[in-house]
Amino acid sequence: MANPNPYFQYTVGLNNVGSYQASARPWIKSGVAVPVSGATSTATEVVFPNVTRFVTIRNDCTGSNSKIRIAFSRDALLETKNNFFTLAQSSSISLEYRITKLYIMSDDTSLCTASVIAGLTQIDGSHLDTSWAGLDGNGG
């Protein structure tokens, strides 16, 4: 049977509640290289193929008191912007954010690694290609 209203097509999307209620597809990346603090151009960019339902980041650094910076845009890692948060050694955080990119950099001169676990929705990453970059509170 044809749709009686051709202007309404119920599909997955950023504002579709069902897209976030359904079980997420698992996505895991461990051993993510975390570069030393410095130029934001060296920050590690983690790109998700689909919009996330949730994301968990773990600081796997082994050095003493090594913190990592986490932001949702490259510019947000700048100390002048101060739109990042730090994660202490051997700690993790889980966030229910819809993002497609994540940026990680050490808070000092320590080289270390991190693990990223995400639950992906069925929403293609192209629907949120900027991943909120440039907005106020996110490097904007």
Note the pLDDT tens digit of each residue in 52-82. Answer: 999 999 999 987 778 999 999 998 988 888 8
Does residue 41 fall inside a structural domain?
yes
Q: What is the C-alpha separation between 111 and 66, in angstroms, rounded?
A: 9
Domain count across the chain: 1
- How is residue 134 annotated by DSSP? T
Q: 25 pairs with which residues across the strands?
A: 120
What the block records as the tokens of 18 is 């069902």
> Quick one: pLDDT at residue 2?
63
> Which residues form the domain of 58?
18-128
Whether 7 is covered by a domain: the verdict is no
- Residue 37 belongs to a domain: yes
Residue 112 covered by a domain: yes
What CATH number is associated with residue 58? Answer: 2.60.120.770
pLDDT tens-place values along the chain, 140 residues long:
566 666 666 678 777 888 878 889 999 999 999 998 877 788 999 999 999 999 999 999 987 778 999 999 998 988 888 899 999 999 999 999 999 999 999 998 888 999 999 999 999 999 888 888 888 888 76
Task: Give the pTM.
Answer: 0.86
d(Cα 50, Cα 122) in Å, to the nearest integer? 7
User: Is residue 139 one of the residues assigned to a domain?
Assistant: no
In-domain check, residue 1: no
Place of tokens 């101060």: 82
